[in-house]
Amino acid sequence: MNVLVYLVPLALLLGATWLAFFLWSLRAGQYEDMEGPAWRILSDEDIQK
């Protein structure tokens, strides 16, 4: 039972940290263009002949 005194706050801290990083990534625009990288990898513009 004593372990719960440490594990519950640790779990809440980890969850809050994950939430903070997720909200930061939303504000930074990490999820704005989901199809762009997929199309850029198929582009032949950077291949030198």
pLDDT (tens digit per residue) in 5-47: 999 999 999 999 999 999 999 999 988 888 888 888 787 776 6
Torsion angle (degrees, nearest 10) of CA 27, 28, 33, 34: -80
pLDDT, residue 9, reads 97
Residue with more model confidence, 49 or 13: 13
pLDDT, residue 1, reads 84
Supply the pTM of this predicted model. Answer: 0.64
CB 30 within 8 A of CB 24: no
pLDDT, residue 35, reads 87
